[in-house]
C-alpha cells in the first residue's frame, strides 16, 4: 500500500464514521423532568407521566401506552419503528405513524 492509497482509505473511513453519527443528529433531544409519576422505581419516573385525557397534547418524544393509558416519554424524538417498553404494565411496543402524522404505539408482546 502506498501513501496515496493510505490517505484515500483514511478519507473513506472518516466519511463512514460521519455517516454513522448523522442518524443520531436527526433525533431532537429533550430534557425530561420528574412529573410526579410514582408507579415505577425512582430512577425511571421521568420516562412516564399520567395522560391528561383527549385534550392532552403529546410532544414528538411521547406516545400513549394502549394497554394502561400512561404516556411513555423518551429523551429523543420518537420515530416510526422505535421500540418501547412500558414498565407499569410490562408490555413491549413499536412506534407507528398514523395517517394524519401522529405517532401511536402498537403492542408486540
Query: Considering the domain boundaries, does residue 16 fall inside one?
Result: no
**Mean per-residue pLDDT for 87-102?**
94
Task: Count the domains in the chain.
Answer: 1
Question: Under a CB-based contact definition with an 8 Å cutoff, are residues 86 and 80 in contact?
Answer: no
- Residue 62, pLDDT score: 93
- Residue 15 pLDDT > 90: no
Query: Considering the domain boundaries, does residue 7 fall inside one?
Result: no
The shares of helix, strand and coil residues in the chain, as percent rounded to the nearest 5, are: 25, 25, 50
Residues in the chain: 109
**For residue 66, what are the domain limits?**
42-107
Of 82, 59, 54, the closest CA to residue 69 belongs to: 54
Query: Considering the domain boundaries, does residue 86 fall inside one?
Result: yes
- Residue 36, pLDDT score: 80
Amino acid at each position: 500500500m502506498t501513501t496515496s492509497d493510505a490517505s484515500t482509505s483514511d478519507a473513506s473511513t472518516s466519511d463512514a464514521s460521519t455517516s454513522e453519527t448523522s442518524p443520531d443528529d436527526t433525533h431532537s433531544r429533550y430534557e425530561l423532568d420528574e412529573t410526579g409519576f410514582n408507579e415505577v422505581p425512582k430512577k425511571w419516573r421521568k420516562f412516564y407521566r399520567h395522560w391528561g385525557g383527549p385534550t392532552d397534547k403529546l410532544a414528538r418524544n411521547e406516545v400513549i401506552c394502549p394497554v394502561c393509558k400512561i404516556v411513555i416519554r423518551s429523551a429523543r424524538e420518537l420515530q416510526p419503528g422505535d421500540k418501547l417498553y412500558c414498565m407499569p404494565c410490562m408490555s413491549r411496543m413499536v412506534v407507528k405513524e398514523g395517517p394524519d402524522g401522529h405517532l401511536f404505539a402498537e403492542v408486540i408482546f
